[in-house]
Amino acid sequence: MYTMGIDVGSSSSKAVILRDGSEVVAEAVVQAGTGSSGPGRVLEEIAARSGLKVQDMAFILATGYGRSNLPMADKQMSEITCHAKGVFFEEPTARTIIDIGGQDVKAIALTDQGTIRQFYMNDKCAAGTGRFLEVMSRVLEVGLDEMAGYHFRSQHPASVSSTCTVFAESEVISLLSQGMAKEDIIAGVHFSVAAKACALAQRVGVRESVVLTGGVGQNSGVADAIQKELGQQILVARDPQLTGALGAALLAYEEQIRKEKSA
Amino acid sequence: MEQNVKTLLEQFRTIAANPKKAVEDHKAETGKGAIGMMPVYAPEEMVHATGFLPVGLWGGNRPVSKARTYLPPFACSIMQQVMELECDGAYDILDAVVFSVPCDTLKCMSQKWKGSAPALVFTHPQNRGLEAANRFLEHEYAVLQEKLEEVTGVKVTNVALEQSIQVYNENRAVMREFAKLAAEYPQVISAVDRHAVFKARMFMEKSRHTALVRELMEAVRASDPQPWMGKKVVVTGILVEPDGLLSLFDELGLAIVADDLAQESRQVRVDVPEGDEAPLYRLARVWQNMYGCPLATDTKKARGPMLQDMVRKTGADAVVVAMMKFCDPEEWDYPIYHRQFGEWGIRDLMIEVDQEAVSFEQARTRLQSLVETL
């Protein structure tokens, strides 16, 4: 039996196909999110990779901000539930999840059984999210995928505000005009993201293992900053951008089994 | 009968959405005007005794622009909306505005009120344990009564005040009964409708509101309550608006089985005590009898146990904290009862309330996650 999880976020669309709720058949990511061509393209991409069509899926479960706009989905669930499912599947020691996406930061506390005990989300503010990093990347003229390299070369990380993306952007421009090294500014930006995320994590109560997920988890500089901010080791999900879609595919399998049992 | 319920609920929705019409109708019918009642607690009975219509001023749902000139960005959402409405002249149809000042923002708003309707300000005592505090508030009410008499040109007699107290106590009792009924019939009374019944209370003469609520309850009771397949929640905070936010509760199958909202059940929690004392003194005693609201000093912080009791009695699955944006009294209470909930095994979820909001995706994600994990 094939099930698909599709996670349409604010900046990207992700899909995962599972066989019998345990084996990953195919994965796909398109860097375009809800309201764009992203959802359609990610479906084409995963079909090409797996050789499977939407009609081959026993159950499709959608998540992410665009979850309500996918007519082919049998059900939609929140990304909090899906990330928790995906992380615990891959890392059963996970008890705290920090999920940093395009426009959200979430901290999720798990029970020993992997169910959600508590969660917090950022308020309506882009500070500490992927969008914040995108803005900084543009100002600094450093690609998102290059930022981690700069981070690890920093000697004296700058102090960058974590309260507002626009103010932080002004601060970064000011630091650039003062001639500060990009390495130090970027490390400061990462610590700013970490401060925001860790404040949420502290609210749910940090228990080991801490797992970082969401698109920003691909940036090892942010992971390093979070470790330093928390004062403990953290794990990064195997493919942090795909964890939500993986969780959705797992939940799709459970839904289908439940459906078959009740039929 | 089902059609009757729908018609009545539609009537409440219409009234709740048209305060201006309520004022105009009252003027046309009685020849008397209207007095604005700012949040949170005021002796409305006193206004009722003049024959003027007390009108609750709990903000609105419009884009805030002019208010930004006069208010700091961290003033709560209700005050931003009230200031915007004031700037637009929406309150010019009122004869006066009664201000209680239980928080810093209200205190400052009362001092910079520039509308054509004068502000009639009174102060609740911080101390809620001393008899002298009752006497102080009685005196504040006497001053307020004089101001009201001046504005309305109506002498408030003790007989009229006693009658108004009776009307209000009756309305409060009916609304407490309605809240219980709404919990039994979530399929019939949606979260949006439940709110409309409470909100219409702010724009109607209270004996009429009581009669209409009774009519609604009778129509609802004509059918048997049905089992609820969704989840049940208690809601706490200042208010849950706009309707787009409340609609999420309905969409996600979350029945509001009790509320601790300042705009709703806190208004009907405490009756004016019976007795031989002067009506103004009895009105003043309400403040010391009030409980479970962060605006009324409570050294024992009984809100947590009160909410626990509400959860137990209603069988609620969780508490939803509707946190008014930038309401510091509510923010200060939260860590206390949130910790207590953890100890008692009560799930809770905080959502931000901003009356200006037009998009509710973050709240949807939070509420949906709560439903999925209960």
Residues B152-210 have pLDDT tens digits of: 999 999 999 999 999 999 999 999 999 999 999 999 999 999 999 999 999 999 999 99
A92 three-class SS: coil
CB-based contact, B366 to chain A, within 8 Å = yes
CA distances from B15 to B33, B204, B263 (A): 17, 8, 16
Closest CA to B272 of B120, B49, B55, B118: B49
Closest CA to A122 of A109, A103, A135: A103
Nearest to A80 among B352, B361, B369 (CB): B369
The label of the residue with tokens 């390495």 reads A183
Q: Does position A36 have pLDDT exceeding 80, yes or no?
A: yes
Taking the CA of residue A51 and the nearest CA in chain B, the distance in Å comes to 32
What percent of chain B lies above the pLDDT cut of 90?
94
Taking the CA of residue A79 and the nearest CA in chain B, the distance in Å comes to 8
Q: CB neighbours of B140 closer than 8 A, spacing ≥ 6?
A: B122, B123, B124, B284
* Full set of structural domains in chain B with CATH: 15-159 (3.40.50.11890)
CA distances from B243 to A32, B190, B350 (A): 31, 11, 18
Report CA Rg, chain B. Answer: 20
Q: Could you tell me if A40 and A28 are in contact, meaning their C-beta atoms sit under 8 angstroms apart?
A: no
pLDDT value of position A168: 79
Within 169-188 of B, beta carbons closer than 8 Å to A belong to: none
B241: confidence class by pLDDT, cuts 50, 70, 90:
very high
Taking the CA of residue A38 and the nearest CA in chain B, the distance in Å comes to 19
CB-based contact, B251 to chain A, within 8 Å = no
CA distances from A47 to A15, A43, A53, A56, B162 (A): 10, 6, 6, 10, 76
Q: Are strands B119-122 and A2-8 parallel, antiparallel or unpaired?
A: unpaired
For A74-122, what is each residue's pLDDT tens digit?
A: 999 999 999 999 999 999 999 999 999 888 899 999 999 999 999 998 8
Nearest to B365 among A80, A116, A123 (CB): A80
For B203-237, what is each residue's pLDDT tens digit?
A: 999 999 999 999 999 999 999 999 999 999 999 99
Tokens of B33: 């005007």
For A222-250, what is each residue's pLDDT tens digit?
A: 999 999 999 999 999 999 999 999 999 99
pLDDT value of position A186: 94
Name the residue in chain A with its Cα closest to that of B335: A203
A162: confidence class by pLDDT, cuts 50, 70, 90:
low
How far is B74 from B104, CA to CA, in rounded Å? 12
* Interchain CB distance below 8 Å, B373 and A81: yes
CB-based contact, B368 to chain A, within 8 Å = yes
Strand order in the sheet with A23-30: A23-30, A13-19, A2-8, A59-63, A75-76
Name the residue in chain B with its Cα closest to that of A79: B365
Nearest to B369 among A65, A78, A123 (CB): A78
pLDDT value of position B1: 59
* Interchain CB distance below 8 Å, B368 and A78: yes
Q: Give B131-199 as a DSSP string.
A: HHHHHHHHHHHHHHHHHHHHHH-----HHHHHHHHHHHHHHHHHHHHHHHHHHH-TTTS-HHHHHHHHH
Q: Could you tell me if B361 and A78 are in contact, meaning their C-beta atoms sit under 8 angstroms apart?
A: no
CA distances from B68 to B49, B79, B185 (A): 37, 11, 42
Taking the CA of residue B123 and the nearest CA in chain A, the distance in Å comes to 34
Average pLDDT, chain A: 92
How far is A21 from A43, CA to CA, in rounded Å? 19
pLDDT value of position A143: 93
CB-based contact, B372 to chain A, within 8 Å = yes
pLDDT value of position B359: 87
How far is A168 from A160, CA to CA, in rounded Å? 6
Q: Does position A43 have pLDDT exceeding 90, yes or no?
A: yes
Stated pTM of the model: 0.90
Q: Does position B356 have pLDDT exceeding 70, yes or no?
A: yes
How far is A174 from A164, CA to CA, in rounded Å? 15
Residues of A in contact with B358 (CB under 8 A): none
pLDDT value of position B172: 98
Chain B interface mutation, best of A61, A81, A117, highest count of B Cβ atoms under 10 Å: A81
* Interchain CB distance below 8 Å, B373 and A121: no
* Interchain CB distance below 8 Å, A123 and B352: yes
B371: confidence class by pLDDT, cuts 50, 70, 90:
very high
Chain A interface mutation, best of B368, B369, B372, B374, highest count of A Cβ atoms under 10 Å: B369
Tokens of A90: 């891959």
Residues of B in contact with A123 (CB under 8 A): 352, 362
For A204-213, what is each residue's pLDDT tens digit?
A: 999 999 999 9
* Interchain CB distance below 8 Å, A116 and B373: yes
For B303-312, what is each residue's pLDDT tens digit?
A: 999 999 999 9
- Segment B262-284 shows an average pLDDT of 97
Taking the CA of residue B161 and the nearest CA in chain A, the distance in Å comes to 46
Strands (E), chain A: 2-8, 13-19, 23-30, 59-63, 75-76, 96-100, 105-110, 116-121, 210-213, 235-236
* Interchain CB distance below 8 Å, A81 and B369: yes
Q: What are phi and psi of A177, to 5 degrees?
A: -70, -25
Taking the CA of residue A81 and the nearest CA in chain B, the distance in Å comes to 6
